[in-house]
Amino acid sequence: MDDNSAIVIGGGLVGSLCACLLAERGYKVTLYEKREDIRKLTASKGRSINLALSHRGRKALRLIGLEDEVLKNAIPMSGRLLHSEKGDTESVKYDPVSNQCIYSVGRNFLNQALLDAAQKYTNLKMFFNHKVVDVDFNKSTIEVTNCMTNDSIITSADFIIGADGAFSVLRGFMQKMPRFNFSQDFIDHGYLELCVPAKRGDQLRPNHLHIWPRGQFMMIALPNQDNSWTVTLFMPFEKFAAIDDRRKLIEFFESTFPDALPLIGEQELESMYFKNAPSALVSIKCGQYDMGNRFLIIGDAAHAMVPFYGQGMNAGFEDCTLLNELLNQTQDNVSKIIKLFTQKRQKDAFAICDLAMYNYIEMRDLVTKPTYKLRKIVDGT
């Protein structure tokens, strides 16, 4: 392929993978990331945010030869471990028939591995601390500002991809165009990240995604490589707000998550709970992902979803797989593939957003119901 150029906006999980795939195909790729290079940041101790990686995501990583390295640094989770209010536990396998599992992988590790992979391509250039601030669909240009110097450039490429997350700047400009359909739903529940420190990590049963389902809300824990566990409490914002002092917090955990409290530790819990405000969760659907002849949005920019199915990143990685297939099928006809991408991707993206919303009810409530357990026995799932 001769000198086809591409710009990828965003060097997060999906943008860095997409940039690698395009470079692999021979595109001259420029990646703009508004944050500093995360590989230069010193990791924050005791708090490692992780993600569940599944088949969809692995397939895309395989395309750039990164699957094995990632799996070597990931922890298999073969099922859910349900914790009752009394502290009893029950293991529910994801796939008792062929033992397939999902993997817990550190977000920073994965992003760094993808950026390292991107760095190896001589036809791929990455600019950190560079943010896209303006888009002109008529001229097919974008404006990029250097966050350190405030200098701006207007630039363009044959293919311009927005992988700039749930609050995508590129999508923001698409939303201003006529007949661009878009919906955004913030749910009434937020999340707060807590931690079981490495020194007590052995006390949780390994190789499981732990769930404390409590009807209207829930807590989960995923394992980290350093033996710690990232614990996430999902709850209505009102309930977070009502727990506004130490006594209420400890009483709430003693009565609701009695087995988790000694693992997290009272002091650590208090400091983590009051240090950070709960974060919001949003679900986004778009009527199209393409604009003009060369603009496309992928990943959370196109279909951010609530995290209860653990599929946001996986679906974003699958966007990259689809993009690669379409480029193969059309001999890199960009104006054709961006329209095909919308046609082929939209139903699946809507479905996974809806399933993710539904799975919150399943995880926080239905897993404790006799009908759910009966179905698992009948289906063998």
For ligand FAD, the closer CB: 9 or 204: 9
- The answer to whether 353 contacts ligand FAD (rule: CB under 6 A) is no
- CB 377, min distance to ligand FAD, A: 27
* Residues 78, 310: Cα–Cα separation, whole Å: 14
**Smallest Cα–Cα separation from 10: which of 106, 105, 118?**
118
The structure tokens listed for 2 are: 């001769």
Instruction: List C-alpha distances in Å: 240 to 183, 244, 250.
Output: 26, 8, 13
β-bridge mates for residue 232, sequence order: 193, 220
Among positions 25, 35, 200, 336, the unique one binding ligand FAD when judged by CB under 6 A = 35
For ligand FAD, the closer CB: 106 or 312: 312
Instruction: For residue 285, give the amino acid letter.
Output: K
Instruction: For residue 179, give the amino acid letter.
Output: R
For ligand FAD, the closer CB: 201 or 310: 310
* Residues 57, 71: Cα–Cα separation, whole Å: 11
* Residues 326, 322: Cα–Cα separation, whole Å: 6
- The answer to whether 127 contacts ligand FAD (rule: CB under 6 A) is no
For ligand FAD, the closer CB: 40 or 179: 40
Among positions 21, 30, 121, 165, the unique one binding ligand FAD when judged by CB under 6 A = 165
- CB 328, min distance to ligand FAD, A: 22
- Please give the size of the binding site for ligand FAD, defined by CB under 6 A: 31
- The answer to whether 310 contacts ligand FAD (rule: CB under 6 A) is yes
- The one segment of 177-185, 250-258, 303-311, 354-362 that binds ligand FAD by CB under 6 A: 303-311
For ligand FAD, the closer CB: 52 or 349: 52
Among positions 21, 22, 28, 32, the unique one binding ligand FAD when judged by CB under 6 A = 32
Phi, psi of 57 (to 5 degrees): -70, -40
Long-range contacts from 137-140, C-beta under 8 angstroms, 24+ separation:
137/173, 137/177, 137/291, 137/292, 137/295, 140/292, 140/293, 140/294, 140/295
For ligand FAD, the closer CB: 147 or 340: 147
For ligand FAD, the closer CB: 220 or 327: 220
Start-to-end CA distance of the chain, whole Å, equals 46
- The answer to whether 290 contacts ligand FAD (rule: CB under 6 A) is no
Among positions 60, 211, 291, 313, the unique one binding ligand FAD when judged by CB under 6 A = 313
Q: At what angle do helices 246-256 and 266-275 cross, to 10 degrees?
A: 120
- CB 241, min distance to ligand FAD, A: 19
**Smallest Cα–Cα separation from 83: which of 205, 236, 195?**
205
Among positions 312, 327, 337, 341, the unique one binding ligand FAD when judged by CB under 6 A = 312
Q: Exposed, middle or buried by CB within 10 Å (0-12, 13-18, 19+), for 259?
A: middle
Q: Per-residue x/- mask for ligand FAD, residues 166 to 195, rule CB under 6 A?
A: ---x---------------------x----
* Residues 17, 205: Cα–Cα separation, whole Å: 33
Q: What is the number of other CB atoms lying within 10 angstroms of the CB of residue 109?
A: 18
For ligand FAD, the closer CB: 51 or 291: 51
Among positions 224, 314, 324, 342, the unique one binding ligand FAD when judged by CB under 6 A = 314
For ligand FAD, the closer CB: 223 or 312: 312
Q: Which residues sit at the interface with ligand FAD, rule CB under 6 A?
A: 9-15, 32-35, 51-52, 131-132, 163-165, 169, 191, 232, 299-301, 307, 310-314, 316
